[in-house]
Amino acid sequence: MTDIPELGLPQVRIAHPEHVTEVIQNIIKDGCDKLQVTADFDFTLTKFKANGTRCAGTHNVLEEGHVLPEFYKEEARALRDHYFPIETNPNLTIEEKIPIMVEWWTKAHDLFAKCDMKKDDVRVMVENSTAKLRDGCTWFFDQLHANEIPLLIFSAGIGDVIIEVIKHQATLHDNMKIVSNYLEYDAQGNMTGFQDDLIHVFNKNEGAIHDSDYFQNVEHRNNVILMGDSLGDLHMADGAIGVKNKLTIGFLNVKVEESLELYMKKYDIVIIEDETWNVANAILRKVLQNRTRESQ
């Protein structure tokens, strides 16, 4: 394995260490100018638990606040209690899960649209929520920005909430592209529903980002680091052009015993029940150190 101690931690599992070593070494050698990063948001960039308590995803942020009515909170929790075990069931195929996930997201968004919410309410709910970026995320964001490495955040959550979480806990940099489900407002700032096509956890190989010129604009960056917590996240960079080296890092937050074998087959690196960004930061640090050596 490369001289990155974080890869040897007990919560880090790697099925094919020789392959991972080769990919990381190639990414380090090629440097910042050839690198692009793609990451999921909920429970990838953000913590799954803090101090033993479950943290909020972007949809959950809306349940925690005092802005939305009780009927929304009760029905949203009931939907999550029913559908989340299906999403994380390792015995179901992605194909079997897709129509069920569409059903969940559609019901959740229809429920949300019944609430009388203003644009400014999102910021207030985020500031009072339990959504937390993983330890070390701020350093990662800042270093990507300082070294002009593009970051695509691709989320089935709520884009407006993502923006406010990053603004509140880090810095929203101009090298970030956030693709998600965005709220729609009328001229008076009243929320009326959602914009564009639905993004759920298993259709990240479709939609606006793959039809846009994003990947064309970064096609000279043929090394990709992709990070997610769902098997559907593996398709977030399907539109990337001419990829030479691709490193995938998966965060396994729930059903570890049942899902570990499958995650190790699909992801290059699997991080188990860890709330930090230490592994990604360690790899990026090596890339940056190589740039420093070359400039000296």
Instruction: Cite the active site residues.
Output: 40, 42
Q: In Å, what is the CA distance from 131 to each residue of 64, 119, 153, 170, 222?
A: 10, 19, 16, 13, 32
β-strand partners of 13:
270
Q: How many Å apart are CA 233 and CA 251, to the nearest integer?
A: 11
Residue carrying the six token digits 């979480």:
165
The 10 Å Cβ neighbour count of residue 4 is 17
Give all strands of the β-sheet with 269-272 in edge-to-edge order: 12-13, 269-272, 245-252, 223-228, 35-39, 151-158, 176-181
Q: 61: part of which helix (H) or strand (E)?
A: helix 58-64
243's tokens? 């990829």
Q: How many Å apart are CA 281 and CA 4, to the nearest integer?
A: 10
Q: How far apart are the first and last CA of the chain?
A: 27
